[in-house]
């Protein structure tokens, strides 16, 4: 891994060095001094609104007019969601808001295996049979469902789309298209719900669930800048104080302190549990958990989601190993494309992500079936996945997604030609620089720089995520005092490190293989993030290693 160090502080005084370090981190994230105040204290999403988030107000007003027109208890409005955490939280936000405003509505989460992705004909048929709506509001899907929208409209159903995925070149026939790529679906749903309340509830007795918007925003891995940062920052504050039974139960089952929840906790603990049921079975239980007012029900649903997540974890490990066995890592193609009938449809995106981590190539995994196959891809920085997939659209039945993640359906007979075509596109766009795995390091620092004062200053960069990554530092000429492998499979590396008389404990997750290259007394360079580790009432600074290099000092 190549290290790219942006800055080396020059001041000798610790306080001034801290100021230099903080300024360097801000500069690396494109935060000018004039924007610093808004960055550390972003405005509340309510003050930003739809218009400043890239949404056409004319379309939002059309949507509200349709909601007002079709507010009929005999024909409930259906909120047609998606089965991932962003889609589930978006569904909850819109459905709860409509209900609170006295508008009869019903949520619908499609089944991955039964209905496919998004606004499908199969899903529409079930919605019509079950609820007979005159208005359907899609959330986190719909911008590519042109034929499906027209199918519903021919049957007298109006379609409002609330979505953040990339638009196609074809004009969408939706009756209202509430769209932006600046927000996750949950953030967009919150902004629309807030606008809806403004139109319907002049007394402001209702407020949309900002904590759910934060979960969806972080889970969907959108850049945490601009409106997304406002959603995440204020939403996490709401999440930490939430009395929502599903959140309380899910946090407890995950072993988390709700009062200190972070983007990491959302991304690696809460969201995977919410996602698991939709990957393997029915995602409706995840929606029920978020919306339930029954303590016993919340606990039961949490157990169900946790069990599904454990099953998902085991399946991911198993299928990732199978995928790796199919790769000749001495002759890697420009893009990794693997198809197999055993690749579970709900896990293929996760496998693709694991393949990217392992081989640093755009990766596509397909659940091969007799007639049609489903594919899911993940990319690397510098390669726009959805743009590349749309160049193969003549071979696909449907495609949607983002520059870094996308999914599609394909006739199985077209997979070989698709593989050749996509690899040709990838070969043309993937330069050696893009294919080089680089670690961006904000500053090279001394161990004497690592103080509680520095960590308190670093807190101002929270919430952290895509577009505002966790600050990473480097230190050279560091000596190993102790080392051992830890973890269930001895996959992690535990160290005691010294530099300039300062000693810190360090943990390197999934760096256990490094123990073969180093020994006590060796001098190394380390890339790391300092964090406060609290255990049994005691707190100490611990270094979370990102990489370690042996140096012949």
Return the HEC string of 483-521: EEEECCCCCEEEEEEEECCEEEEEEECCCHHHHHCCCCC
Write down the pLDDT at residue 76.
Answer: 96
Q: Is 268 domain-assigned? A: no
Write down the pLDDT at residue 453.
Answer: 95
Q: For the segment 18-68, what is each residue's pLDDT rounded down to a tens digit?
A: 999 999 999 999 998 888 999 999 999 999 999 999 999 999 999 999 999
Write down the pLDDT at residue 100.
Answer: 95
**Contact yes or no for 466/224 (Cβ under 8 A):** yes
Write down the pLDDT at residue 552.
Answer: 64
Average pLDDT of the chain is 94
**Distance, CA of 103 to CA of 65 (rounded, Å):** 13
Q: Range with the lowest mean pLDDT among 138-142, 365-369, 506-510?
A: 506-510
470 and 403 in a single domain? The answer is: no
With a cut of 60, say whether residue 553 has pLDDT above it. no
60 and 165 in a single domain? The answer is: yes
> Mean pLDDT over residues 485-498, rounded?
91
Write down the pLDDT at residue 369.
Answer: 95
> Mean pLDDT over residues 469-489, rounded?
93
**Contact yes or no for 93/186 (Cβ under 8 A):** yes
Q: For the segment 507-516, what is each residue's pLDDT rounded down to a tens digit?
A: 999 888 888 8
Q: Is 320 domain-assigned? A: no
Write down the pLDDT at residue 516.
Answer: 84
With a cut of 90, say whether residue 75 has pLDDT above it. yes
Total structural domains in the chain?
A: 3
Q: For the segment 323-345, what is each residue's pLDDT rounded down to a tens digit?
A: 999 998 888 999 999 999 999 99
474 and 420 in a single domain? The answer is: no
With a cut of 80, say whether residue 354 has pLDDT above it. yes
pLDDT interval class at 12 (50, 70, 90): confident
- Percent of the chain past pLDDT 90, that is, above it, reads 86
pTM confidence score: 0.92
With a cut of 80, say whether residue 322 has pLDDT above it. yes
With a cut of 90, say whether residue 168 has pLDDT above it. no
50 and 160 in a single domain? The answer is: yes
**Distance, CA of 112 to CA of 114 (rounded, Å):** 6
336 and 450 in a single domain? The answer is: no
87 and 140 in a single domain? The answer is: yes
Write down the pLDDT at residue 551.
Answer: 73
352 and 455 in a single domain? The answer is: no
Write down the pLDDT at residue 48.
Answer: 96
> Mean pLDDT over residues 186-191, rounded?
98
Q: For the segment 534-551, what is each residue's pLDDT rounded down to a tens digit?
A: 776 778 999 999 999 987
At 361, list the tokens: 């190539």
**Contact yes or no for 93/194 (Cβ under 8 A):** no
**Contact yes or no for 106/136 (Cβ under 8 A):** no
> Mean pLDDT over residues 169-195, rounded?
96
pLDDT interval class at 14 (50, 70, 90): confident
Q: Is 487 domain-assigned? A: yes
CATH number, domain of 535, equals 2.40.50.460
**Distance, CA of 35 to CA of 54 (rounded, Å):** 20
Write down the pLDDT at residue 217.
Answer: 97
423 and 463 in a single domain? The answer is: no
**Distance, CA of 366 to CA of 396 (rounded, Å):** 13
Domain closes at, from 151, 184, 209: 209
Write down the pLDDT at residue 513.
Answer: 86
Q: Which domain holds residue 100?
A: 45-209
- Percent of the chain past pLDDT 70, that is, above it, reads 99
Write down the pLDDT at residue 238.
Answer: 97
518 and 422 in a single domain? The answer is: no
With a cut of 90, say whether residue 77 has pLDDT above it. yes
Write down the pLDDT at residue 461.
Answer: 95
**Distance, CA of 514 to CA of 519 (rounded, Å):** 10
61 and 158 in a single domain? The answer is: yes
Q: Is 290 domain-assigned? A: no
User: Helix, strand or coil for residue 236?
Assistant: helix
**Token pair 């139960």 is at which residue?**
249
Domain closes at, from 429, 457, 483: 429
12 and 107 in a single domain? The answer is: no
**Distance, CA of 455 to CA of 252 (rounded, Å):** 27
25 and 56 in a single domain? The answer is: no
Q: Is 126 domain-assigned? A: yes
Residue 159's region, left for phi above 0, alpha for psi from -120 to 50, else beta, is: beta
With a cut of 90, say whether residue 160 has pLDDT above it. yes
> Mean pLDDT over residues 230-248, rounded?
97
Q: For the segment 411-429, what is each residue's pLDDT rounded down to a tens digit?
A: 999 999 999 999 999 999 9
Write down the pLDDT at residue 133.
Answer: 97
Q: Is 227 domain-assigned? A: no
Kindly report the number of other CB atoms within 10 A of residue 428's CB atom.
10
With a cut of 90, say whether residue 493 has pLDDT above it. yes
> Mean pLDDT over residues 106-111, rounded?
96
């Amino acid at each position: 891994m190549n290290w790219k160090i942006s800055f080396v502080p020059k001041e000798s005084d610790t306080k001034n060095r801290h100021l230099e370090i903080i300024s360097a981190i801000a500069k690396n994230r494109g935060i000018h001094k004039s924007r610093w105040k808004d960055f550390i204290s972003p405005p509340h999403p309510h003050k930003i609104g739809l218009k400043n988030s890239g949404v056409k107000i004319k379309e939002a007003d059309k949507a509200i007019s349709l909601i007002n027109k079709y507010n009929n208890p005999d024909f409930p409005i259906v909120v047609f969601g998606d089965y991932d955490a962003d889609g589930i939280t978006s569904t909850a936000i819109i459905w709860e808001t409509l209900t609170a405003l006295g508008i009869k509505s019903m949520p619908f989460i499609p089944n991955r295996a039964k209905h496919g992705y998004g606004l499908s004909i199969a899903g529409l048929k079930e919605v019509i049979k079950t609820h007979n709506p005159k208005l359907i509001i899609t959330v986190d899907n719909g911008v590519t469902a042109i034929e499906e929208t027209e199918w519903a409209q021919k049957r007298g159903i109006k379609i409002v789309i609330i979505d953040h995925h990339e638009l196609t070149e074809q004009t969408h026939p939706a009756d209202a298209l509430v769209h932006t790529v600046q927000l996750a679906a949950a953030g967009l749903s919150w902004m629309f719900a807030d606008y809806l309340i403004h139109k319907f509830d002049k007394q402001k007795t209702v407020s949309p669930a900002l904590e759910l918007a934060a979960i969806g925003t972080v889970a969907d891995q959108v850049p945490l800048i601009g409106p997304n940062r406002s959603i995440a920052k204020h939403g996490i504050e709401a999440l930490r104080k939430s009395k929502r039974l599903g959140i309380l139960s899910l946090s407890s089952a995950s072993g988390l302190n709700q009062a200190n929840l972070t983007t990491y906790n959302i991304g690696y603990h809460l969201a995977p549990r919410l996602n698991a049921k939709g990957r393997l079975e029915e995602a409706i239980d995840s929606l029920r958990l978020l919306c339930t007012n029954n303590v016993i029900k919340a606990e039961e649903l949490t157990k169900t989601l946790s069990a599904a997540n454990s099953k998902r974890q085991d399946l991911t490990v198993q299928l990732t190993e199978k995928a790796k066995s199919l790769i000749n890592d001495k002759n890697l193609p420009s893009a990794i494309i693997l198809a197999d009938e055993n690749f579970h449809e709900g896990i293929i995106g996760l496998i693709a992500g694991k393949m990217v981590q392992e081989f640093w190539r755009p990766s596509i995994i397909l659940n091969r079936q007799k007639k049609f196959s489903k594919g899911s891809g993940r990319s690397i920085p510098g390669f726009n996945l959805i743009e590349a997939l749309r160049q193969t659209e003549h071979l696909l039945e449907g495609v949607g997604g983002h520059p870094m993640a996308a999914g599609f359906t394909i006739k199985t007979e077209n997979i070989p030609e698709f593989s050749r075509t996509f690899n040709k596109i990838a070969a043309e766009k993937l330069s050696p620089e893009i294919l080089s795995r680089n670690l961006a390091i904000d500053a090279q620092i001394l161990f004497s720089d690592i103080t509680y004062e520095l960590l308190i200053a670093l807190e101002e960069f929270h919430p952290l995520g895509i577009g505002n990554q966790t600050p990473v530092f480097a230190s050279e000429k560091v000596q190993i005092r102790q080392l051992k492998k830890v973890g269930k499979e001895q996959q992690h590396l535990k160290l005691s490190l010294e530099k300039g008389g300062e000693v810190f404990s360090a943990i390197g997750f999934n760096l256990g293989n490094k123990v073969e290259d180093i020994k006590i007394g060796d001098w190394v360079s380390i890339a790391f993030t300092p964090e406060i580790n609290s255990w049994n009432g005691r707190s100490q600074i611990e270094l979370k290693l990102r990489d370690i290099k042996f140096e012949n000092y």
